[in-house]
């Protein structure tokens, strides 16, 4: 949940590239990009979970400490800020960044090999002529 408070000049100056960024639960969600603070946003570097930089409104920074930047947002709210980055993958496991298909991991393996590609129907017909 956003806290809508202004960061002090001192807090802004303490934000440095590579500094960890934590969600409201205290879980690390990323690191500060080399671009740091670009008014009115804190830029979080793309990484394991987010596939492109995330622009976090400065109003959502709860506090800045030597140990990192602490947000007032949940991991899911940070995800929502970046819908254009990984939403094209569909549901994504927020802990691993891996698309969640709703199926066991091995159930997806080889699925494309089981069914012919619609574009290659002519090729499969020549390999497996109809019985007749």
Reported as a single tens digit per residue, the pLDDT across 85-123 is 444 344 555 566 555 555 544 444 444 444 444 444 454
Whole-angstrom CA distances from 15 to 31, 33, 65, 114, 132 are 10, 10, 9, 51, 74
Instruction: Assess if residue 59 is contained within a domain.
Output: yes
How large a percentage of the chain has pLDDT more than 90? 39
Structure tokens at 47: 């990484």
Instruction: Assess if residue 111 is contained within a domain.
Output: no
Give the whole-angstrom CA distance, residue 89 versus residue 50: 11
Q: How many CB atoms lie within 10 A of CB 77?
A: 16
Q: Looking at residues 15-32, what average pLDDT do you find? A: 95
Mean pLDDT of the chain: 74
Q: Which residues contact 84 (CB under 8 A, 6 or more apart)?
A: 52
pLDDT of amino acid 85? 42
Instruction: Assess if residue 76 is contained within a domain.
Output: yes
Residue 7's pLDDT band (cuts 50, 70, 90): confident
| pLDDT 10s digits, 29-49 | 999 999 999 888 999 988 777
Overall pTM > 0.75? no
CATH number where 92 lies: 2.30.30.240
Structural domains in the chain (count)? 1
Q: Given the DSSP bridges, would you call strands 20-22 and 68-71 parallel, antiparallel or unpaired? A: parallel
């Amino acid at each position: 949940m956003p806290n809508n408070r202004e960061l002090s000049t001192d807090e802004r100056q303490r934000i440095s590239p590579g500094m960890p960024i934590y969600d409201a639960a205290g879980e690390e969600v990323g690191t500060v990009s080399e671009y740091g603070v670009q008014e009115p946003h804190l830029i979080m570097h793309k990484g394991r979970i987010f596939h492109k930089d995330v622009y976090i409104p400065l109003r959502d920074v709860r506090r800045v400490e030597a140990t990192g930047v602490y947000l007032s947002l949940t991991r899911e709210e940070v995800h929502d800020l970046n819908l254009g980055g990984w939403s094209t993958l569909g549901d994504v496991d927020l802990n691993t960044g891996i698309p969640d298909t709703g199926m066991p991991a091995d159930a997806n393996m080889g699925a494309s090999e089981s069914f012919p590609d619609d574009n290659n129907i002519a090729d499969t017909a020549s390999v497996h002529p109809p019985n007749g």
